[in-house]
Amino acid sequence: NAGVTQTPKFRVLKTGQSMTLLCAQDMNHEYMYWYRQDPGMGLRLIHYSVGEGTTAKGEVPDGYNVSRLKKQNFLLGLESAAPSQTSVYFCASSYNGRPYNEQFFGPGTRLTVL
């Protein structure tokens, strides 16, 4: 099992460009999450999904869109990148939302917006 994988690992964008980050999990998990980590800020939830075809906003959703067309994939889109979106992005998944089902994290995508 690969667990949770993220592509790409690194990306540099110019302000105003768009891109999509892909997250894939092979554990048949229902719940998937996108977080961003900024220095001194911990991990903050951007969007999450409780099942195929469903998405919901987290703490910092502005400037991002997501889609969950397939159970195993969760896409994070930036329509018009801004320097404030420079961050490390982590995807995670869990069997369901219950606390005894841990969240498994991917290795992260480091995004720089110039």
What residues line the site for another protein (CB under 8 A)? 4, 31, 33, 35, 40-45, 48, 50, 58, 90, 92, 94, 96-100, 102-108
In the complex, what is the shortest distance from the CB of residue 50 to another protein, in angstroms, rounded to a whole number?
7
User: Of the two residues 85 and 109, which places its CB atom closer to another protein in the complex?
Assistant: 109
C-alpha distances in Å from residue 91, one per residue of 16, 24, 33, 45:
23, 9, 6, 10
In the complex, what is the shortest distance from the CB of residue 99 to another protein, in angstroms, rounded to a whole number?
4
In the complex, what is the shortest distance from the CB of residue 43 to another protein, in angstroms, rounded to a whole number?
4
In the complex, what is the shortest distance from the CB of residue 16 to another protein, in angstroms, rounded to a whole number?
28
Among 82, 65, 70, 69, residue whose Cα is nearest residue 20? 65
Distance from C-alpha of 107 to C-alpha of 45, rounded to nearest angstrom: 16
User: Of the two residues 57 and 70, which places its CB atom closer to another protein in the complex?
Assistant: 57
User: Of the two residues 23 and 113, which places its CB atom closer to another protein in the complex?
Assistant: 23
Distance from C-alpha of 43 to C-alpha of 65, rounded to nearest angstrom: 18
Based on C-alpha coordinates, what's the Rg of the chain? 13
